[in-house]
Amino acid sequence: MATGTHIRTYFKGRWQDGNVAIMHAADHGTWLGSGVFDGARSVNGLTPDLAAHCERVNRSAEAMMLTPTISTDDMVAIVRDGLAAYAPDAAVYIRPMYWGIDGDVSAIVPLPDTTGFAICLEQIPLAPPTASIALTRTQFCRPTLDNAVLNAKAGCLYPNNARMLAEARRKGFGNALVADSMGNVAETATANIFMVKDGEVFTPIANGTFLAGITRARHITNLRNDGVKVHETVLNFADFHSADEVFMSGNMQKVTAISAFEDTHFQLGPITRNVREMYWDWAATQGD
């Protein structure tokens, strides 16, 4: 699924140009969904939290009962080698991934020691800072750890997100604000969510029903270091209708302003702008 340009693929120990075929028809990951991945970014030569993303894909592999085969340090070095082929100002999406190749006698359980590995680099631009999106509710909710592998960034989780997005788009919105199984707000269909009220920032507490992202954690740290109160707490849909600002946090775009939640409209406010500025200021000075 190529959405960008200038794709490079690391597979079987070398970088190759293009969207290279990496899986076979009988691979466990192909027909039984044992693939995991992560997403990092390179923007203007900056690769914020790259090591953290590489470390997390190894944790995701273990959660999927696979054995990771590349250390964090080696993965970072491979990525940097691959990025050398891009222009210094390119915006590149970085996807390391593992998948199961063989299954046990039942075929269902992946054999942990036959694990495929690849990295895909894809040039995808950042949205402009003024970009925004409108949210609606969805009939679908986040699963729980007892019935889905929520401690992994796993491809098998995304069909649920896809039907959330499809429903939102049918209703004329760009994304969905999603509840957990208890009816509390968890995230959107594609990213973590924050709201601002009276100068303080609120985000759903990580309760195991959604991936509490690396970029989310970075924003929380940056805000607190800037003297802003950040509350990780239980939030409901009414809280978002009463918010002063709302923004999404994800690796693909880092910060996306929310223009509306159904019939409630928001401005691109000062804290949303500041979160974006602080993130890239941090990236420029701290790197990984």
Lowest mean pLDDT among 103-117, 197-211, 274-288: 274-288
Apex 218 CA angle, 120 and 135, nearest 5: 80
Average of per-residue pLDDT across 76-89 = 97
Encoded tokens for 14: 């070398």
Q: What percent of the chain has pLDDT over 70?
A: 99
State the pTM of this model: 0.95
Q: Give the chain as a 3 state SS string.
A: CCCCEEEEEEECCEEEECCCCCCCCCCHHHHHCCCEECCEEEECCECCCHHHHHHHHHHHHHHCCCCCCCCHHHHHHHHHHHHCCCCCCCEEEEEEEEEECCECCCCCCECCCCEEEEEEEEECCCCCCCCEEEEEEEEEECCCCCCCCCCCCEHHHHHHHHHHHHHHHHCCCCEEEEECCCCCEEEECCCEEEEEECCEEEEECCCCCCCCCHHHHHHHHHHHHCCCCEEEECCCHHHHHCCCEEEEECCCCCCEEEEEECCEECCCCHHHHHHHHHHHHHHHHHCC
Contacts 24+ apart (CB under 8 A), 143-150: 143/181, 143/209, 144/180, 144/181, 144/208, 144/209, 145/208, 145/209, 149/63, 149/64, 150/208, 150/209, 150/210, 150/211
Read off the pLDDT of residues 129-155 as tens digits, 9 standing for 90 and up: 999 999 999 999 999 999 999 999 999
Taking the C-alpha atoms of residue 94 and residue 244, their distance in angstroms, rounded to an integer, is 33
pLDDT band at 287 (very low <50, low <70, confident <90, very high): low
Residue ranges, comma separated, of all CATH 3.20.10.10 domains in the chain are 132-286
Residue ranges, comma separated, of all CATH 3.30.470.10 domains in the chain are 5-123
Average of per-residue pLDDT across 212-228 = 98
Residue 151, pLDDT score: 96
CATH class of 5-123: alpha beta
In the predicted model, is pLDDT for residue 2 greater than 90? no
pLDDT band at 4 (very low <50, low <70, confident <90, very high): confident
162 phi-psi bin (left φ>0, alpha ψ -120 to 50, beta other): alpha
In the predicted model, is pLDDT for residue 286 greater than 80? no
Q: For all residues of the chain together, what is the average pLDDT?
A: 96
Amino acid at 35: G
In the predicted model, is pLDDT for residue 3 greater than 80? no
Residue 228, pLDDT score: 98
pLDDT band at 58 (very low <50, low <70, confident <90, very high): very high
Encoded tokens for 281: 């200021």
Residue 192, pLDDT score: 98
Rg (CA), the chain: 19
Are 132 and 257 within 8 A, CB to CB?
Answer: yes
In the predicted model, is pLDDT for residue 288 greater than 90? no
CATH class of 132-286: alpha beta
Q: What percent of the chain has pLDDT over 90?
A: 95
Read off the pLDDT of residues 151-205 as tens digits, 9 standing for 90 and up: 999 999 999 999 999 999 999 999 999 999 999 999 999 999 999 999 999 999 9
Residue 1, pLDDT score: 53
Neighbours of 72 (CB within 10 A): 18
